[in-house]
Structure 1
Amino acid sequence: MTLRKSLLGAAVAVAVSIIAAPAFSQSASLANPAALTEKAPAAYKVKFDTSKGPFVIQVNRDWAPNGADRFYNLVKNGFYDNVRFFRVVTGFMVQFGISGDPKLSAPWREARIPDDPVRQSNKRGYITFATAGPNTRTTQVFINFGNNTFLDSQGFAPFGQVISGMNVVDALNAEYGEGAPRGRGPDQGRLQQEGNAYLAKDFARMDFVRKATIEN
């Protein structure tokens, strides 16, 4: 191989690396979940720019105050920027909210918020925090593809709904489906530990959030 070819190859490798791993835009405050407790407005909108296009969520604080406040602080400080839609189950829901940076996953893993009473139903387009049991909500959320009313009695409290771009949500790549070990999708434990490097290597076609912003 000539030196010129070698340099060209190195340049291509660097370019690919930059495309595959864009810089994070999170604030330094994200390292300390206890500091991010700002009360959310009574209603606010969040625009998600994704690899498939934009969609907008309206959050209503009176639906689920604890969830609405947590979501507001996460979005405002850039937590959802560059996160992947790691669990997309056709006809059921799409889940996201594990940071692509393992250094951020660690402090948020135990940053739990109290449950909210279920005041709305898990209907199509409604967004809800994922849980692993009572009072275990942290950063993971899901958007319902269908009318999953059976989740209501299990304590899943919607805090907002998609008001535009539901066609974008419907189009998110579902080829990986359910997560491991039940499905062929990513293992959440590895995602927490390895971040987006794990997903880029083994689930390269997974859709992702480019940036989430609170709209005025």
Structure 2
Amino acid sequence: MKRLLIFALVLALVPAAFGQTASNSALKNPAGLKETAPAMFNVKFDTSAGVFVVEVHRDWAPIGADRFYNLVKNGYYDNDRFFRVVPGFMVQFGINGDPDVQRNWQNARIPDDPVKQGNTRGFVTFAKCGAPDCRSTQLFVNFGDNSGLNRQGFAAFGKVTSGMDVVDKINAQYREMPDQGRIQAEGNAYLTKEFPKLDYIKKATIEK
């Protein structure tokens, strides 16, 4: 009987194991994640601070919306930390907690979208460096009116339609202290050790 129970347990775990492997494999090949996003879709973020929902409009920023759709669909943001929180400005996330995954996306950049929708409270935008066409995986949610970012090419692709109160209460005690280079190199191990009270995304799910 004990042998049968062990065998049954192994069988029960097999689908989950294969699912996790498939997801990890997909995330290690950015070039393979090129699916076109629906014209509009919602993403539910179940976080340690609560739940919020982002409504994405592909026509606002098609390239950014497609990248976001593929990342969420393949579990990229699951277990990610909100590593940069600046009250009155924005909350930023999108460095994968697994360095083996993250290194594949570090240079997987996408072209800029023209700015059609600005950066005001609750709108969601890809972070970018000072150069053109350097968006990858990092996102931020605007806490207030940051319309000055529009002139710098930050194109919003979605907005928080419910749970903005949850976004407002994401832990800001560490502000900009986490080192992004170390997050990329060491992943969540670094953040858990040095900044244990960071809020994080439990799971991000696409909802029709």
Q: TM-score, normalised on structure 1? A: 0.85
Q: Give the deviation of 1:89 after TM superposition.
A: 0.3
2: CA distance between counterparts of 1:27 and 1:63?
29
Query: Would you say the 8 A contact 1:24–1:82 is kept in 2?
Result: no
Alignment partner, residue 16 of structure 1: none
Cα distance in structure 2, aligned partners of 1:37 and 1:87: 28
Quote how far apart the aligned CAs of 1:145 are.
0.2
User: Which whole-Å CA distance do the structure 1 matches of 2:117 and 2:44 have between them?
Assistant: 22
Q: What residue identity is the alignment partner of 2:146?
A: N
What residue is the counterpart of 2:201 in the other structure? 209
Offset, 1:27: 3.9
What CA distance in whole angstroms lies between the structure 2 residues aligned with 1:24 and 1:98?
A: 20
Number of the residue aligned with 1:137 = 135
Q: Shift of residue 206 of structure 1?
A: 0.2
The superposition leaves residues 38-74 of structure 1 with CA deviations (integer Å, 9 ceiling, x where unpaired) of: 0000000000000011000000000000000000000
| Structure 2 CA distance for aligned equivalents of residues 45 and 33 of structure 1 | 22
Match of 2:119 among 116, 119, 122: 122
CA distance in 1, matches of 2:28, 2:40: 26
C-alpha distance in 2 between matches for 1:200 and 1:167: 25
Instruction: Tell me whether 26-35 or 62-71 shows the greater mean CA deviation.
Output: 26-35
2:179 to 167, 187, 199: 187
Could you state the TM-score of these two structures normalised by the residue count of structure 2? 0.88
Match among 147, 150, 160 for residue 158 of structure 2: 160
Structure 1 residues 25 and 167, CA, compared in 2 at 3 Å: closer, same or farther?
farther
User: Who is 1:105 aligned against?
Assistant: 102
Matches within 5 A, 1:76-95: 76-95=73-92
Where does residue 5 of structure 2 map in the other structure? none
Aligned residue type for 1:197: A
Number of residue equivalences: 188
Aligned counterpart in structure 1 of residue 50 of structure 2, from 53, 57, 64:
53
Partners of 1:157 and 1:52 lie apart in 2 by 26
Percent identity between the aligned chains?
Answer: 63
For the pair 1:150 / 2:142, whether they are aligned, the reply is no
Q: Secondary structure in 2 aligned to 1:147?
A: coil
Shift of residue 26, structure 1, vs aligned partner: 4.2
Looking at structure 2, the residues matched to 200 and 120 of structure 1 have their Cα atoms a distance apart, in angstroms, of 35
Structure 1 distance, partners of 2:22, 2:31, is: 20
